[in-house]
């Protein structure tokens, strides 16, 4: 299978971390979407024009990181990243929604900063920053639920925090959130996270 890839996308990283955690990374060929023809190429793989997307061996295309990760999880017989049912499932999906939401807000903020200065909206940036802060405060209150084996929720939260370190290293998300910071220190040391660190 092929994965449309950008080395700085936290959503691509999420899929790759899931692939490493499930022992499937070697089966994925990366399609570089950072070349000059990238926009056209991305649109061909995903009509939504976003990375990540996947082309399966039979030509089927899948898009959106939750779908890609759940597809990968269906391909192995080990411990599942998506718990099958009950409270564990809803907790993992809820954490995934929060992690993905933080990534959405952080990516939007980066996009806004790239617009011509006269077109940038400080109000928009403030709103995205508030979404990130409120979500991290919630995760700090619920940090105990992040402990234990990786799930899709913990992977999404880990990739979101990694993206904040990558794009906003001086923002200090750890300040006032010691439990979340301690959890992330352990999670970031996992081989799956080390193998997918964004470039400098
Ligand atoms: N919900 C999507 C979000 C993917 C996403 O926002 N990708 C960004 C890169 S980090 C992108 O391709 N943006 C281009 C665009 O929105 O046109 C997912 O989970 O895969």
From first to last of its 200 residues, what are the pLDDT tens digits of the chain?
999 999 999 999 999 999 999 999 999 999 988 876 777 777 888 999 999 999 999 999 999 999 999 999 999 999 999 999 999 999 999 999 999 999 999 999 999 999 999 999 999 999 999 999 999 999 999 999 999 999 999 999 999 999 999 999 999 999 999 999 999 999 999 999 999 999 98
Say how many C-beta atoms besides its own lie within 10 A of residue 84's C-beta: 7
pLDDT of residue 77: 97
Q: Is the CB of 70 under 6 A from ligand 1?
A: no
pLDDT digits (tens, 9 = 90+) for 39-81: 777 788 899 999 999 999 999 999 999 999 999 999 999 999 9
CA of 86 to the centre of ligand 1 (A): 29
pTM of the complete model: 0.96
107 lines ligand 1 (CB under 6 A): yes
pLDDT for res 97: 98
Residue 176 is predicted with a pLDDT of 98
Tell me, what's the pLDDT at 38? 72
**CA of residue 181 to ligand 1 center, whole Å:** 26
Give the pLDDT confidence score for residue 37 in this predicted structure: 73
3-state helix, strand, coil in the chain (%, to 5): 60, 5, 35
Q: Is the CB of 65 under 6 A from ligand 1?
A: yes
The residue whose C-alpha atom lies closest to atom 16 belonging to ligand 1 is 50
Q: 54: helix, coil or strand?
A: strand
The pLDDT of residue 169? 95
**Structure tokens that stand for 27 in this block:** 């089966």
d(CA 105, CA 155): 17
What is the secondary structure of 167-192 as a DSSP string? H-TTS-TTTT-HHHHHHHHHHHTSHH
Residue 184: Cβ-neighbour burial (10 angstroms; 0-12, 13-18, 19+):
buried
* Closest residue by CA, ligand 1 atom 13: 50
CA of 90 to the centre of ligand 1 (A): 23
List all residues 6 or more positions away from 192 whose beta carbon is below 8 Å from its beta carbon: 16, 17, 20, 21, 150, 155
CATH of domain 86-190: 1.20.1050.10
Strands 53-55 and 61-63: antiparallel
Which ligand 1 atom sits nearest the alpha carbon of residue 104? 6
DSSP string, 135-162: HHHHHHHTGGGG-SS--HHHHHHHHHHH
Is the CB–ligand 1 distance for residue 14 below 6 Å? no
What are the Cα distances from residue 14, in Å, to 33, 36, 45, 151?
Answer: 16, 24, 18, 11
Provide the edge-to-edge strand list for the sheet that holds 53-55.
29-32, 2-5, 53-55, 61-63
Strand 29-32 and strand 2-5: pairing? parallel
Greatest CA separation for the chain: 53
pLDDT of residue 25: 98
Sorted by where each begins, the domain ranges of the chain are 2-73, 86-190
From the CA of 100, give the closest atom in ligand 1: 19
- Domain 2-73 falls in which CATH fold? Glutaredoxin (3.40.30)
Question: Ligand 1: which residue has its CA nearest to atom 5?
Answer: 50
Q: How many A from CA of 145 to the centre of ligand 1?
A: 27
| Minimum CA distance residue for ligand 1 atom 15 | 50
The pLDDT of residue 79 is: 96
Both structure tokens of 123: 């109000």
**pLDDT of res. 33:** 85
């Amino acid at each position: 299978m092929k994965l449309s890839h950008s080395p700085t996308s936290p959503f691509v990283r999420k899929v790759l971390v899931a692939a490493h955690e499930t022992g499937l990374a070697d089966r994925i060929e990366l399609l570089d979407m950072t070349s000059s023809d990238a926009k056209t190429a991305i649109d061909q793989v995903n009509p939504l024009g976003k990375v990540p997307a996947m082309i399966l061996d039979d030509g089927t295309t899948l898009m959106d990181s939750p779908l890609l990760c759940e597809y990968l999880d269906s391909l192995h017989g080990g411990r599942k990243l998506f718990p099958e049912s009950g409270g564990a499932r809803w907790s993992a999906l809820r954490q995934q929604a929060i992690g993905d939401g933080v990534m959405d807000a952080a990516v939007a903020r980066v996009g806004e900063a790239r617009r011509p200065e006269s077109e940038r909206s400080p109000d928009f940036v403030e709103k995205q920053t508030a979404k990130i802060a409120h979500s991290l405060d919630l995760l700090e209150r619920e940090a105990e639920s992040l402990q234990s084996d990786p799930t899709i929720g913990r992977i999404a939260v880990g990739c979101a925090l990694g993206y904040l370190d990558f794009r906003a290293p001086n923002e200090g998300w750890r300040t006032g959130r010691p439990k979340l910071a301690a959890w992330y220190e352990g999670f970031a040391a996992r081989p799956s996270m080390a193998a997918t660190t964004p470039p400098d």
